[in-house]
Structure 1
């Protein structure tokens, strides 16, 4: 399966998603590694099988094995961090913001690809998972690496479209599985 196959499987009511997937694939403000790494990390974060298979195949054709691994690692580590840090932010008791997390996060320091690209993947997964605290932290890191508002926004746009496509695919699969 590929990006084109995924687009063809989206129903007509999701035409905007089809168009957005196409335009994001042609986005030039991000490198190929940034763009397809964001797509893969987002697909892993959502986990819907059709979307994940399509974007995994597409990413593997565009990315190095190290970048594929980093995108998956970003989804994995942020799946943990987004829950933890979102929770510490939501607690009324401020103490939770001051205690050490005591969670291993070694991949953030040594992702196997350019640190800035990994930070972008982490930011996009944080957008999909809805963690404002992590979004702020990764956006600040990206700024230190010289990323512009447009580049950061492009990553978030990728995450939002992949998330929406995955949700449509999941809903359609649920309808197909329903007994007549």
Structure 2
């Protein structure tokens, strides 16, 4: 019921909702959940957008670990020095993905990873890209229900 409400009764666009769901499924790392969301996203989104949702999950897998650890350690900060070419506007535009969509996907994945630094940065990015607090709330709901589905399936396995 919660999955349906979060994904089908949302003011988010299909790109925003299903891109977030796929990126979150990948972040939750449960194979059945990944397969199910990848199949549905491939029906609802163009292939380049699906690839960018996968890229958002990949980039945030890297960044969430680095920035969460750096935040926990405290003290002097150093640049990550990690390549993130797919975040550039020309790459996103070529895939038909808006900056707002990509930021929203990254925010949702960061919620699963529990990285406060990334959550704050992508919340700001979402808002700079023109979305509001309601969009952030919806993305967080999607992250929560996708993660819950993955945890539930893992527990049943």
Q: When the two structures are superposed, what TM-score results if normalisation uses the length of structure 1?
A: 0.81
Shift of 1:69: 0.4
Matched with 2:66 is: 84
Instruction: Pick 1 or 2: higher relative contact order, CA cutoff 8 A, min separation 6.
Output: 2
Map 1:2-41 onto structure 2 (within 5 A): 19-41=1-23
Partners of 1:91 and 1:24 lie apart in 2 by: 35
Normalization by structure 2: what TM-score? 0.93
How far has the Cα of 1:116 moved from its partner?
Answer: 1.0
2:132 is aligned to 148
Aligned residues: 152
Looking at structure 1, the residues matched to 153 and 108 of structure 2 have their Cα atoms a distance apart, in angstroms, of: 20
Superposed CA RMSD: 1.0
Instruction: Please state how far the C-alpha of 1:157 moved relative to its aligned partner.
Output: 0.4
- Return 5+ residue gaps in structure 1 as ranges: 1-18, 174-180
1:107 equivalent in alignment to 2:103: no
Q: Which string of whole-angstrom CA distances, capped at 9 and with x for unpartnered residues, describes residues 12-60 of structure 1?
A: xxxxxxx101111222310011000011000011110111111111111
Contact 2:10 2:138 in 1 (8 A): no
1:54 aligns with 2:41: no
The Cα shift of 1:66 comes to 1.1
Write the distance in 1 (CA, Å) between the matches of 2:123 and 2:114: 14
**More off after superposition, 32-41 vs 143-152:** 143-152
Equivalent-residue separation in structure 2 for 1:100 and 1:23 (angstroms): 39
Q: Distance in 2 between matches of 1:116 and 1:69?
A: 16
Distance (whole Å) between structure 2 residues aligned to residue 76 and residue 168 of structure 1 = 23
SS at structure 2 position matched to 1:23: helix
Larger Rg: 1
CA distance in 2, matches of 1:49, 1:88: 29
Structure 1 residue 73 corresponds to structure 2 residue 52? no
